[in-house]
A and B are shown apart, each in its own frame.
Chain A
């Protein structure tokens, strides 16, 4: 999946403000379906934010996060830096997105 993450990044006073929107169902495994069973759990387990190739934030995520997760983080940097975000879910699927500040 190329660029499955929408990223907005703005640099101001040496800090990059990163906002990312990922598209993912984030099933908790508790929601009931019509037949009386539950939808199997399917959620993002790990998110990684990189600036210029260096890992800045490494997040372990639980199913508690809302559907289509939104993430806002900040990191030191300047205009022209490359922000990369990737995620991996409990089924092993991956997502990736990048953006030049």
Chain B
């Protein structure tokens, strides 16, 4: 086998392995590094959605979180128009504003619940991308440090 042929084969194999992990298991290949590691809330928001419309996204989150290490939140985007493609959770006061971004595939119900860390009080923004546009809803979350739960 000459060199050129060999390289061609390697290239084809490379493409194949690139496509397979999507189906096989979780992969970090498509992790949006620059967006995830960005430190500016406004910039991330602008990049994800230049001009989102205020939408009817239900956010279940405490108004006052006693412990910033685990803030339980739930995003319910059932009443948003169109098919939900992604749900992104942004926290304005965190060093890295994006908490998580969920891509919903066929068969998924647009509800995501999880627990997040918050360094200090800030705004939680739920960005929901559908085939009809991008929608957002904000909620303020106060984090009390000291654990008195005032």
Which residue numbers of A lie inside 8 Å of B, CB to CB?
Answer: 15, 26, 28, 30, 45-49, 51, 54-67, 69-77, 86-88, 90, 92, 94, 96
Contacts and interface: CB of A to CB of B under 8 A. Distances in A.
Contacts of B104: 56-57
Contacts of A46: 26-28, 31
B145 interface: no
B74 interface: yes
Interface residues of B, number: 38
Interface stretch (B10-18, B50-58, B90-98, B131-139): B90-98
Given A62-B98, A70-B114, 17 more contacts: A47-B26, A51-B107, A56-B104, A59-B100, A60-B30, A60-B32, A62-B36, A64-B117, A65-B117, A66-B69, A66-B70, A67-B70, A71-B113, A71-B114, A72-B112, A74-B111, A88-B28
A64 B91 contact: yes
The A interface, classified by DSSP as helix, strand, loop or mixed, is strand
Contacts, number: 124
Nearest to A74: B109
A26 to B, nearest CB: 8
Contacts of A90: 28
Interface of B: 22-23, 25-28, 30-32, 36, 69-72, 74, 91, 94-96, 98-109, 111-117
